[in-house]
């Protein structure tokens, strides 16, 4: 029996190692292809010129700026709502049926396909406005980011020591002051980490923007009009037979990958730096 257990354990370990190697090999292959093809188009014009017509030279300046604007607006919408929602769940809702229902719905929203959110915003916003717009894209991104911020805020507030809450209450401070002046200060790093993860989550979303902001071949800073964005531009250029567009798509994909990588690394390093201080 002992020999059998050892053999079974060894076989299981080898199977796990083999599966890990396969997964890492696929990841390395994808990254190698992305870097090798994306770097070929990394030049100054990529950041200074707008998207070109077929057969012309150009860059992705309008798409990058549009993505930055819509992502910023989406986070500005989602962050306050998400923090307040997570605060209610952790501090006031506790184990009530309403809080349990909200947690369940929040989990469903977190795993919902982004294309469904895009269709929902299209029906509720785009059709009523009568046209695509940057605002519609920002609302769709905010809905995607919302459950991430809610969950992070709730879990971080649950880690606040009870003694800290009791100390604030013992001094006669109302609960809202204990939460805002003590709780938020204690979890400030966690809140920032949650927001960074939410930004990383929505930075590369394509499907919801296809139904909301669509795209724009020109430099547009008006959120009431269709707005260029990097994910949709990459999608359209990658499907084109034009080689210039294909190269821009590879370079844009590399930019998004590097941005998401930087955001994820920042979310990991920020808590460590805070602990050292």
Locate the domains of the chain by residue range: 2-41, 46-276
Q: Express each pLDDT in 111-148 by its tens digit.
A: 888 999 999 999 999 999 888 999 999 999 999 999 99
Identify the pLDDT of residue 274: 64
Q: What is the pTM of this model?
A: 0.88
Q: What is the mean pLDDT of residues 229-256?
A: 90
Pick the residue with more confidence: 168 or 60?
Answer: 60
Q: Is the pLDDT of residue 276 over 70?
A: no
Tens of pLDDT, residues 74-102: 999 999 999 999 999 988 887 888 888 99
- Is residue 151 within 8 Å of residue 86, measured between CB atoms? yes
pLDDT of 215 over the 80 cut: yes
Average pLDDT of the chain, as a whole number = 88
pLDDT at position 275, please? 65
Look at residue 207 and tell me whether its pLDDT is greater than 90.
Answer: no
Q: Which CATH architecture has domain 46-276?
A: Orthogonal Bundle (1.10)
């Amino acid at each position: 029996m002992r020999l059998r257990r050892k053999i079974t354990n060894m076989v299981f370990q080898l199977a796990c190692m083999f599966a890990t190697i396969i997964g890492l090999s696929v990841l390395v292959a994808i990254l190698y292809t992305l870097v090798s093809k994306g770097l070929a188009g990394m030049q100054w014009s990529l950041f200074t010129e707008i998207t070109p017509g077929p057969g012309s030279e150009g860059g992705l300046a309008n798409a990058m700026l549009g993505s930055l604007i819509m992502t910023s607006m989406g986070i500005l919408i989602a962050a306050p709502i998400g923090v307040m929602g997570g605060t209610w769940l952790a501090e006031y809702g506790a184990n009530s049926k309403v809080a349990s229902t909200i947690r369940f719905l929040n989990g469903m929203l977190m795993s919902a396909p982004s294309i469904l959110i895009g269709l929902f915003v299209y029906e509720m916003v785009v059709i009523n406005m009568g046209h695509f717009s940057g605002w519609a894209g920002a609302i769709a991104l905010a809905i995607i980011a919302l459950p991430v911020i809610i969950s992070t805020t709730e879990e971080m507030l649950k880690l606040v020591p009870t003694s800290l809450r009791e100390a604030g209450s013992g001094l006669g401070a109302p609960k809202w002051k204990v939460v805002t002046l003590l709780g938020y200060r204690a979890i400030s790093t966690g809140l920032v980490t949650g927001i960074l993860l939410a930004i990383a989550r929505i930075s590369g979303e394509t499907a919801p923007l296809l139904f909301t902001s669509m795209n724009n071949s020109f430099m547009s800073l008006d959120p009431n009009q269709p707005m260029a964005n990097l994910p949709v531009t990459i999608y359209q250029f990658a499907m084109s037979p034009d080689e210039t567009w294909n190269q821009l798509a590879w370079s844009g994909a590399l930019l998004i990958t590097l941005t998401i990588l930087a955001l994820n690394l920042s979310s990991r390093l920020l808590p460590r730096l805070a602990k050292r201080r």
